[in-house]
């Protein structure tokens, strides 16, 4: 799992993930995700290259959404593949994490 971060205009942090959010991938991104969630109020996550999302990855997203939300901010993910989108829906996580089709929509919803 590779994780890249970039600061966009308007104080938005964009995280790009590449790989599997399985137990190994989730352990690799958990600490940087926590740091970003405690620092930024507007966070978007590019899921385009996430080929697998397990419940351990869902935990990372929910924890992050809670941290950002408690500070009055928002977390949005965008362009997850069909399987990841279905995991986000079955767990109900899509009711607390914004799931958007593309980067522009994600930026819009956190701004």
Residues that bind another protein (CB under 8 A): 20, 22-24, 27, 52, 54-56, 58-59, 62-63, 65-66, 69-70, 83, 87, 90-93, 95-96
Minimum Å gap between C-beta 22 and another protein is: 6
Cβ(58)–Cβ(83) under 8 Å?
Answer: no
Complex with another protein: residue 48 or 55, whichever CB lies closer: 55
Least distance (Å) from another protein to the CB of residue 12? 19
* Strands of 2-8's sheet in order across: 2-8, 12-21, 42-53, 74-78, 98-100
Minimum Å distance from CB 9 to another protein? 26
Q: Which residue is listed with tokens 């971060």?
A: 5
- CB nearer another protein, residue 6 or residue 95: 95
Q: Provide the minimum distance between the beta carbon of 30 and another protein in the complex, in angstroms, as a whole number.
A: 12
Proportion of the chain in helix, strand, coil states, percent, rounded to 5: 50, 35, 20
Nearest-angstrom CA–CA distance, 104 and 10: 13
Which helix (H) or strand (E) covers residue 57, if one does?
A: helix 55-70
Q: Which CB, 55 or 111, lies closer to another protein? A: 55
Pick 25 or 79: Cβ nearer another protein? 25
């Amino acid at each position: 799992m590779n994780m890249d971060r970039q600061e966009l205009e308007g104080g938005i942090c964009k995280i790009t993930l590449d790989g599997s959010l399985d137990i190994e991938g989730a352990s690799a991104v958990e600490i940087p995700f926590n740091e970003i969630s405690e620092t930024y109020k507007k966070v978007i996550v590019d899921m385009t290259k996430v080929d697998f999302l397990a419940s351990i990855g869902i935990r990372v997203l929910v924890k992050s959404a809670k941290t950002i939300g408690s500070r009055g901010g928002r977390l949005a993910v965008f362009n997850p593949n069909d399987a990841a989108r279905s995991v986000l829906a079955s767990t109900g996580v899509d009711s607390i994490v914004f799931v958007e089709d593309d980067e522009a929509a994600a930026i819009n919803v956190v701004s």
